[in-house]
């Protein structure tokens, strides 16, 4: 029996950006933006997504990852009551909710860090941060030095080997589960988190809520180090992300197929995406906008747990600058769908429906069937049924012959319902330029 997260299609929100919240704030004045966030829920349902990753959402000083209160919803978004209502409405719409867990570091306004600044060696929280040294000074003239995430001294690193810190964070998560009924956590900077902490986190959360999901942000490295029965359920699949846009840009399906086979060998169930709050928009990365539907076709049908970043369904563009990620996190309102809705939006909604209704995509076995630089076909298998995806990234029409791996006489195009014949175990497919199909094959 598949878990909810193996069947999930995610929508990804960066709420501070999408609601137009100010980048920084110095007081605790509450501005309710959950009324607007609530209006996104019907849109998510229309896209056939059944899970949401939203974050960061806890009280912070600027971009959201400099936490100053883990038990308080960011007052630029609203209050705890507003978020509790938002989660309830998501659940009523059949949408699970996963939030950001920023546990590698805090902001400088977090109570423990402020106590060290005020009380120095007498602070009971000196051991809560890594590398605290009162014989040195920080670039911010704190009167002591400490380890900071990637040299950003507004983000002091927590000491996750300290039992008090671990217990505090476990209590925080229990509060999130009890108060908001969240379904999982996306671990920020999971690539540098202490492995023993993640093991204990896995056990602790499994006791809090059945099928509680842990997904980590990991960019480089062997993903199976993090994804296993002891630590995390999933991590971000940056490898596939890179191969999807560069493979399409270079007319090189070999890059994508090689990456898929290598990652499939690990057995890890990975979180797949085309863009996110840290990456340039896929609509800006692709050399040809005509490849956008193909990119989403592959995202939804290749192995993985697919995610659509808000605005991606409308082909929104955005590139980071040297000094700002703001273009990746634009202000968008749910009403914008009336002017931005396109054929891409309909394709993504159809793919969401296909993914939700065909268990081949919920961890089904992958099999490569045909591969050239510009044409690619693969199967996903489960319990006597097969779905075949075929894609053509050439600008010209292409006819391909795809071997069908089970005995069958017909295939149904899941995108439009048309029926194709299978002759002598082979599908003859004529694909127009920059297009693809998803075909359901059933045994005779």
Domain count, the chain: 3
CA 255 to chain CA centroid, nearest Å: 22
Query: What is the pLDDT, as a whole number, of residue 398?
Result: 98
Q: Cis omega before residue 56 (within 30°)?
A: yes
- 353 and 376 part of one domain: no
Q: Is residue 2 part of a domain?
A: no
Asked whether residue 61 is assigned to any structural domain, the reply reads: yes
- Does 79 share its domain with 168? yes
CA–CA separation, 283 vs 285, rounded Å? Answer: 6
Q: Taking a C-beta distance cutoff of 8 angstroms, is the pair 178, 196 a contact? A: no
Rounded to whole angstroms, how far apart are CA atoms 92 and 87?
A: 9
Residues 313 and 197 placed together within one structural domain of the fold: yes
Q: Is residue 255 located within the same domain as residue 334?
A: yes
Distance CA 422, CA 436 (A): 18
> Which residues constitute the domain of residue 387?
365-442
pLDDT at 23: 87
With helix as H, strand as E and coil as C, how does 17-72 read?
HHCCCCCCCCCCCCCCCHHHHHCCHHHHHHCCCCEEEECCCEEECCCCCCEEEEEE
291: helix, strand or coil: helix
CATH of the domain at 426: 2.60.40.1180
Among candidate residues 324, 357, 390, the one where a domain is terminated:
357
What single DSSP character describes residue 227? B
The whole-number pLDDT of residue 24 equals: 81
Residues 254 and 386 in one domain: no
Distinct helix (H) and strand (E) counts, the chain: 13, 18
CATH of the domain at 65: 3.20.20.80
Q: Tokens 């029409």 correspond to what residue?
A: 397
pLDDT for the residue 26: 63
For 299, list phi and psi in degrees, rounded to 5.
-55, -45
DSSP for residue 69: E
Residue-level pLDDT, tens digit, the chain, 444 residues: 789 999 999 999 999 999 999 988 767 789 999 999 999 999 999 999 999 999 999 999 999 999 999 999 999 999 999 999 999 999 999 999 999 999 999 999 999 999 999 999 999 999 999 999 999 999 999 999 999 999 999 999 999 999 999 999 999 999 999 999 999 999 999 999 999 999 999 999 999 999 999 999 999 999 999 999 999 999 999 999 999 999 999 999 999 999 999 999 888 899 999 999 999 999 999 999 999 999 999 999 999 999 999 999 999 999 999 889 999 999 999 999 999 999 999 999 999 999 999 999 999 999 999 999 999 999 999 988 999 999 999 999 999 999 999 999 999 999 999 999 999 999 999 999 999 999 999 876
The pTM score is: 0.96
**252 lies in the same domain as 191:** yes
Question: Would 1 be classed as within a structural domain?
Answer: no
Gap between the Cα atoms of 74 and 399, Å rounded: 54
Secondary structure element (H or E) that encloses residue 98, with its range:
strand 96-101
Residue 4 lies in a domain: no
| Same domain as 201, residue 98 | yes
Count the Cβ atoms, other than its own, within 10 Å of residue 355: 26
Of 323, 357, 391, which residue sits at a domain end?
A: 357
Domain assignment of residue 248, yes or no: yes
Asked whether residue 223 falls in the same domain as residue 286, the answer is yes
Is 242 among the domain residues? yes
Alpha-carbon distance 122 to 229, whole Å? 41
H helices within 60-194, ranges in order? 80-92, 111-119, 163-180
Rounded to the nearest 5°, which phi and psi values hold at 82? -65, -40
CA distance 251 to 365: 25
Please provide the distance, in angstroms rounded to a whole number, between the alpha carbons at the two ends of the chain: 25
| DSSP secondary structure code for residue 236 in this structure | B
Write out the DSSP string of 302-361.
SSSEEEEETTGGGT------SS--GGGS----GGGHHHH--HHHHHHHHHHHHHHH-GGG
Domain membership of residue 3 (yes or no) is no
User: Residue 300 in contact with residue 351, Cβ under 8 Å?
Assistant: yes
207 and 347 belong to one structural domain: yes
- Residues 87 and 222 grouped into a single domain: yes
pLDDT, residue 319, reads 97
Same domain, 343 and 419: no
Q: Does residue 391 lie in a domain region?
A: yes
- Please identify, among 357, 376, 396, the residue that sits at the C-terminal boundary of a domain: 357
Q: Does residue 27 sit in the same domain as residue 135?
A: no
């Amino acid at each position: 029996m598949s878990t909810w997260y193996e069947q999930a299609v995610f929508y990804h929100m960066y709420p501070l950006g999408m609601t137009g919240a100010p980048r920084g704030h110095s007081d605790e004045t509450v501005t309710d933006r959950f009324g607007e966030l609530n209006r996104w829920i019907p849109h998510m349902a229309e896209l056939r997504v059944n899970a949401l990753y939203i974050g960061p959402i806890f009280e912070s000083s600027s971009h959201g990852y400099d936490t100053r209160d883990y038990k308080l919803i960011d007052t630029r978004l609203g209050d705890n009551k507003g978020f509790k209502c938002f989660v309830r409405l998501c659940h009523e719409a059949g949408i699970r909710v996963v939030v950001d867990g920023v546990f590698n570091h805090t902001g400088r306004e977090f109570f423990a860090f402020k106590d060290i600044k005020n009380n120095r060696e007498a602070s009971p929280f000196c051991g809560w941060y890594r590398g605290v040294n009162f014989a040195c000074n920080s670039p911010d003239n704190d009167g002591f030095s400490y380890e900071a995430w990637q040299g950003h001294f507004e983000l002091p690193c927590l000491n996750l080997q300290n039992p008090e810190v671990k217990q505090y964070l476990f209590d925080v998560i229990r509060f999130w589960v009890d108060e908001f009924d969240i379904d999982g956590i996306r671990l920020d900077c999971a690539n540098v988190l202490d492995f023993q902490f993640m093991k204990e986190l896995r056990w602790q959360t499994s006791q809090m809520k059945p099928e509680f999901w842990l997904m980590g942000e990991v960019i480089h490295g062997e993903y199976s180090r993090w994804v296993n029965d002891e630590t995390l359920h999933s991590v971000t699949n940056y490898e596939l992300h890179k191969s999807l846009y560069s493979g399409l840009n270079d007319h090189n399906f070999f890059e994508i197929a090689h990456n898929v086979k290598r990652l499939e060998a690990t057995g890890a169930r990975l979180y797949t995406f085309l863009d996110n709050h840290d990456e340039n928009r896929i609509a800006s990365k692709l050399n040809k906008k005509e490849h956008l539907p193909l990119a989403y076709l592959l995202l939804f049908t290749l192995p993985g747990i697919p995610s659509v970043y808000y605005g991606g369904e409308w082909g929104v563009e955005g590139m980071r600058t040297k000094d700002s990620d703001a273009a990746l996190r634009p202000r968008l309102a749910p009403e914008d769908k009336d002017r931005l809705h396109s054929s891409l939006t309909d394709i993504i909604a159809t793919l969401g429906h296909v993914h939700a209704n065909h268990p081949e995509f919920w961890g089904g076995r992958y099999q490569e069937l045909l591969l050239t630089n510009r044409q690619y076909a693969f199967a996903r298998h489960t319990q006597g049924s097969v779905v075949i995806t075929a894609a053509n990234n050439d600008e010209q029409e292409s006819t391909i012959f795809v071997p069908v791996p089970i005995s069958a006489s017909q295939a149904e195009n899941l995108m439009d319902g048309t029926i194709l014949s299978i002759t002598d175990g082979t599908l003859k497919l004529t694909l127009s330029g920059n297009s693809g199909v998803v075909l359901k094959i059933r045994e005779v």
